[in-house]
Amino acid sequence: MRIKFMLKLIFSILLLVGLIVEAESSKLDYYSDAKAKEKLDIEAKLNEIPNKSFRNEYYSHVDKLKTNKVFLMDLGSGLIIFSLCILLILFWSKINRIENLRGIKTFREKIFIFLSPIVWLCIIPGTIWYYSFRGARGDYPWFSDSIAIPIFYTTIAVFIGLVFLIIFLFIATRGSVYPAYLFIKPKHYNFTILTQEIFWGILLLINFICLVGFITDGDHFSIPINLFFTYLILILRAGQINRFNTKLDYSS
């Protein structure tokens, strides 16, 4: 079965869906009643420094006036970027049949250890773009907190996360045998291997849930970053399983 053709077809259709959704969003106004929204903004400016009660009331009224424009815009762009990323991978890869999946080999250890922190730090420009784009689009009222605040805290979180990532990579690659087949199977299962498979499976599931969130939210930079870390998780798993299989070969 030519899996590459089928996948290209599926993600080309998904790309088309994203373009259609994006086009539909451009036909909508941000608010169902622009005059009512303008009136709310005038009232907000008259308050100069709106108190918490007024802010809550303002947000409540604005939410009722919002159309699906922003949701469709974010979803459409998310689907477009996700589909393009996968299509680029498919065009670059030499996988044509399901059988070819077994022959995919991982990068060598030093390559992905070097790349991972760099890709992780790309979250920072992604965050700046995320909040700047939404601020320019008018997602936040003039009296809301500055976008510099979430950007600042996210940047700190990224640098703290970088430390944990490096530690995790050191532990996860300890004793691993590379290069390995990406979708390698254990020669037999025991408690240790089952535990590892569950651990890597949980990480993949969490990563997938995050990916869905990034797509629906139109978080442009986070989508390719997430796909990279999906590959990274598979690489780390492959190295550990290959280590287990190599030990069995030596002991037999």
Express each pLDDT in 189-235 by its tens digit: 888 899 999 999 999 999 999 999 999 998 999 999 999 999 999 99
**pLDDT score for 88:** 92
Cα Dmax for the chain:
81
Q: Which residues pair with 2 in a beta bridge?
A: 97
Number of Cβ atoms within 10 Å of the Cβ of 229 = 19
Judged on CB neighbours under 10 Å (0-12, 13-18, 19+), 219 is buried
DSSP assignment string, 152-164: HHHHHHHHHHHHH
Length of the chain equals: 252
**pLDDT score for 201:** 96
Instruction: Pick out the chain residues at pLDDT < 50.
Output: none
Contacts of 154 (CB under 8 A, 6+ apart): 123, 124, 127
- Identify the three-state secondary structure at position 142: coil
Judged on CB neighbours under 10 Å (0-12, 13-18, 19+), 82 is buried
CA neighbor of 200 nearest in space, from 170, 163, 230, 162: 230
Q: Which residues pair with 181 in a beta bridge?
A: 105
DSSP assignment string, 63-105: HHHB-SHHHHHHHHHHHHHHHHHHHHHHHHS---BGGGGGG-B
DSSP state of 108: P
**pLDDT score for 176:** 86
**pLDDT score for 63:** 86
**pLDDT score for 15:** 96
C-beta separation of 241 from 180 below 8 A: yes
**pLDDT score for 2:** 74
